[in-house]
């Protein structure tokens, strides 16, 4: 999934999950943190991570910043938070690039960052090797004890790294399926037999020119919260279909956190939902 900020300022909360975020030239993004595969900041674009200390540290597999060595044209403001970049086998190249970006941001000619600004940057590969800017503006190597077995450890970061590790483990255990239009106006949420019905409705909707997509949770614990939260920022509304008293829709609404309207279509007492019922509801909501 790709979140695009094409123009203007987009202010949001946390951005998490397996997707990518791209901020186009001239646009701005303000977020609590970004914990995704890719953050792409194009020329003249700016991303601000609002102040929140260690609880708001961002975690990325790839950071793409427009520009070139000593001439970066995209802006990433970490406030009082930090950034972890999991570079994997490409660690040497990534660390060299990040080092130059930090030095460019430090601005040796002045005005310089403050000591507090230096402490906000954490640059690390997937093995835990990291660079921390020091008060003098130089980058000092250290080790972040993700596995708690490394001797050289920065104790203040341990609770944060444990949280990130736990969230990553939960994300890996979360299972779901998606089906339908890549840029939907309405997202259907269903599981079990309702998901089969909803899949038919997605096909029928396509024949009628309706842009629909289905998210079917396979695991309910852990729940695909990040997936639904990501879609909530990109669709007009969601429709939850379930054969129960509304327990599933509560989970969806908790995940969405008010980012879009979440509607419920339910049946109980052995009465099944049919594709016709769901399609009528969809047409009514989109009408």
Dihedral sign (CA 86, 89, 90, 95):
positive
What's the pTM?
Answer: 0.46
Position 98 scores a pLDDT of 77
Task: Compute mean pLDDT per 10 residues along the chain, 287 residues long, and list them.
Answer: 91 90 95 92 91 76 88 83 72 74 64 42 42 43 35 44 60 86 96 96 96 94 89 96 93 92 94 96 93
pLDDT at 78: 78
Contact by Cβ (8 Å): 35, 59: yes
Q: Any residues with CB less than 8 A from the CB of 75 and at least 6 apart, and which?
A: 41, 45, 46, 47
CA distance 146 to 129: 10
Which residues, 6 or more positions from 22, have their beta carbon under 8 angstroms from its beta carbon?
A: 2, 3, 4, 5, 38, 40, 42
Q: How far is CA 122 from the centre of its chain?
A: 19
CATH number of 174-286: 3.40.50.920
The rounded Cα 183 to chain-centroid distance in angstroms is: 17
CB 181 within 8 A of CB 211: yes
Helix (H, G, I), strand (E, B) or coil at 44: coil
The domain ranges of the chain are 2-171, 174-286
């Amino acid at each position: 999934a790709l979140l695009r900020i094409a123009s203007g300022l987009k202010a949001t909360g946390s951005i998490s999950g397996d997707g990518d975020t791209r901020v186009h030239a001239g646009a701005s993004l303000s977020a609590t943190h970004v914990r995704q595969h890719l953050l792409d900041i194009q020329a003249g674009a700016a991303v601000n991570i609002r102040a929140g200390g260690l609880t708001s540290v961002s975690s990325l597999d790839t950071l793409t910043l427009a520009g070139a060595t000593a001439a970066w044209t995209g802006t990433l403001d970490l406030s009082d938070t930090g950034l972890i970049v999991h570079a994997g086998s490409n660690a040497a190249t990534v660390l060299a690039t990040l080092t130059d970006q930090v030095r460019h941001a430090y601005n040796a000619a002045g005005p310089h960052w403050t000591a507090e600004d230096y402490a906000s940057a954490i640059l690390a590969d997937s093995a835990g090797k990291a660079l921390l800017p020091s008060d003098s503006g130089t980058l000092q190597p250290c080790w972040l004890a993700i596995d708690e077995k490394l001797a050289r450890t920065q104790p203040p970061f341990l609770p944060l790294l444990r949280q990130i590790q736990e969230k990553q483990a939960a994300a890996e255990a979360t299972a779901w399926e998606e089906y339908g239009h890549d840029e939907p106006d309405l997202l259907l949420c269903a599981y079990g037999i309702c998901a089969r019905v909803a899949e038919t409705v997605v096909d029928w909707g396509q024949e009628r020119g309706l842009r629909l997509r289905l998210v079917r949770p396979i695991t309910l614990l852990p729940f695909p919260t990040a997936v639904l939260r990501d879609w909530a920022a990109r669709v007009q509304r969601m429709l939850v279909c379930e054969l129960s008293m509304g327990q599933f829709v509560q989970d969806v609404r908790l995940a969405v956190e008010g980012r879009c309207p979440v509607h419920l279509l339910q049946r109980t007492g052995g009465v099944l939902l049919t594709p016709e019922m769901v399609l009528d509801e969809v047409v009514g909501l989109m009408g």
